[in-house]
Amino acid sequence: MKQTALVTGAASGLGFELAMLLAQDGYDLFLVDVDIQGLEKAKKEIETQFSSEVKLIAKDLSTCNVAPEIFEAIEDVPIDVLINNAGFGIFGSFQDTDWKREAEMLNLHVVTTTHLTKLVLKGMVARGKGKILNMSSLAAFQPGPLMSLYYASKAYILSFSEAIANELKDSGVTVTVLCPGQTKTCFQDVVSNGIGKSSSENKISFNIACPKAVAKYGYEAMQKGKIVAIPGNINKLLSKLPRFVSRRTATAVIRRIQEKNRAH
């Protein structure tokens, strides 16, 4: 019997690469994204290469109460793998950034991710099997001036994922949280400074990972049931920065990096 996976933010970047890996392993797919043209392109590419059945769900995951709409759209199909990948960032001083956009980001990273996990998890536990992969970030390990809410929301995803992974021990369901560093995706295209400008290119090009490699690392970690997955030795080291210096110093370092990275 074929297994089925649900992937959010699947039109491009890591979400698309993870969907490709699932299709390669024979999963049927529900792909969710606000970008319907990107979804249709992803579906065509996947179905050209693999035998997976691909169904598309065009939804804005940053809106309120979208998780039940997605869950209703899967038509009671048992979900064997859930990948909560969708996300975006906002750059700028907290006092200057746009609250409406920040609220949408928090709703996506915190509320939609949590609610969709809760809805899908019940069936997984009842069946005694399932895998969940939540997308956090290297940002989860320390405060991030000039991207304060993004860093905080990714810290939430890390903490939430680790906690429920512990709760689900011996249930047959595993939870993995992927914490990549800088990755060459379209993420940068939607990192706004809150006043109408965008930063589509990192000024610091050191340690930028390939999305295919990051997706493969996270996918393999999920299949093995690993809880926290940090791709790259440099990123593993950076995740431990607050252990070796004060949090105040670590925060100052992150601010300096952000200022250099987004300089116009």
CA–CA distance, 211 with 232 (Å, rounded to integer): 12
Question: What digits encode the pLDDT tens for the residues 195-243?
Answer: 333 344 554 444 577 999 999 999 999 999 999 999 988 889 888 877 7
Question: What digits encode the pLDDT tens for the residues 121-138?
Answer: 999 999 999 999 999 999
- Catalytic site residues? 150
State the average pLDDT for the chain: 90
Domain boundaries in the chain? 4-261
Beta bridge partners, 198, equal: 192
% the chain with pLDDT above 70 = 89
Q: What angle do CA 190, 226, 135 make, to 5 degrees?
A: 10
Closest CA to 263 of 204, 206, 184, 205: 204
pTM confidence score? 0.89
CATH, domain 4-261, list 3.30.479.30, 3.40.50.720, 3.40.190.10, 3.20.20.140: 3.40.50.720
What residues of the chain score a pLDDT lower than 70?
Answer: 184-207, 262-264
